[in-house]
């Protein structure tokens, strides 16, 4: 009975806030990928659970006098203009998700209803990240054991691409170590200017080819995660619109 009353209170609370627009949904889905350094916090083998919802007390307390130091937004009004009241929770382990921990919304008495855990939750992997360092993270020690598990797990959903990502990263790093300082400087200049000189060493050309392939594989993985978020955001909007 108590759970039922709390759920009603939550839906009553969100009646006072606007349904996010298409633009706000798009902004939220894209920027969720960069809200945190997911590439070093999410589990490569199992992924981590996220729950999307509308937060009626979202990001309160931030204004021009007390801004939040973040590249995406600094004040509450700026956040709401960009994302509406869209918000998320993420879980460090599966057991916490199963037990519905963190169900209380911020410092309020509102508890997120069970239906959100069922209908607007999803599993995301480290390659959801759009951080500059994400591309290299497959070589991090924190993912080493998970990578071994993935190589043996035939049912892992992204097995071929993740193993290709790891292989290309290793090969790219190997070639980079074999380059001369002059070749490295030329490559860094090319990456900044996006202009390839007429004369380029075979080793430098090989590195650029591998780097391009590496980026393409990671972009494919990352795009797949973004599309999952977009689907769940749309389902969330449909859920709250029909209450």
- What pLDDT is stored for residue 169 in this prediction? 98
The better pLDDT of the pair 88, 77 is held by: 88
Helices (H), the chain: 2-14, 22-32, 76-83, 94-98, 114-119, 144-152, 159-178, 181-193, 202-241
234-243 per-position pLDDT tens digit:
999 999 998 7
Residue 193 has pLDDT above 90, yes or no: no
Mean residue pLDDT of the chain comes to 88
- Alpha-carbon gap, residue 219 to 225, rounded angstroms: 10
Query: 103 Cβ partners below 8 Å, 6+ apart?
Result: 111, 112, 117
Query: 156 Cβ partners below 8 Å, 6+ apart?
Result: 45, 149, 150, 162
Mean pLDDT of 102-126: 86
What sign has the CA pseudo-torsion 236, 19, 57, 9? negative
Residue 33 has pLDDT above 90, yes or no: yes
Residue 35 burial (CB count, 10 A): 15
- What pLDDT is stored for residue 86 in this prediction? 94
Residues 104 and 110: beta-carbon distance below 8 Å: yes
- Alpha-carbon gap, residue 41 to 151, rounded angstroms: 21
């Amino acid at each position: 009975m108590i759970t039922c009353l709390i759920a009603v209170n939550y839906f009553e609370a969100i009646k006072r806030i606007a349904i996010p627009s298409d633009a706000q949904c798009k902004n939220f889905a894209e920027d969720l990928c960069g809200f945190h350094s997911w590439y070093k916090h999410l589990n490569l083998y199992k992924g981590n659970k996220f729950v999307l919802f509308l937060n009626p007390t979202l990001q309160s307390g931030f204004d021009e006098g007390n801004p939040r130091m973040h590249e995406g937004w600094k004040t509450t009004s700026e956040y709401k203009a960009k994302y509406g009241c869209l918000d998320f929770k993420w879980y460090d382990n599966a057991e916490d998700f199963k037990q519905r921990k963190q169900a209380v919304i911020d410092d309020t008495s509102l508890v997120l209803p069970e239906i959100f855990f069922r209908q607007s939750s999803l599993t995301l992997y480290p390659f959801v990240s759009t951080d500059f360092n994400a591309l290299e993270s497959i070589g991090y020690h924190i993912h080493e054991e998970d990578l071994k598990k993935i190589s043996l797990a035939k049912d892992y959903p992204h097995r071929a691409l993740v193993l290709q990502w790891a292989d290309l990263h290793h090969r790219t790093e190997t070639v980079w170590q074999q380059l001369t300082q002059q070749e490295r400087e030329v490559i860094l200049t090319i990456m900044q200017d996006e202009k390839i000189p007429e004369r380029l060493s075979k080793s430098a050309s090989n590195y650029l080819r591998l780097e391009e392939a590496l980026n393409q594989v990671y972009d494919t993985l990352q795009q797949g995660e973004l599309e999952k978020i977009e689907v769940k955001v749309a389902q969330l909007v449909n859920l709250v619109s029909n209450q």
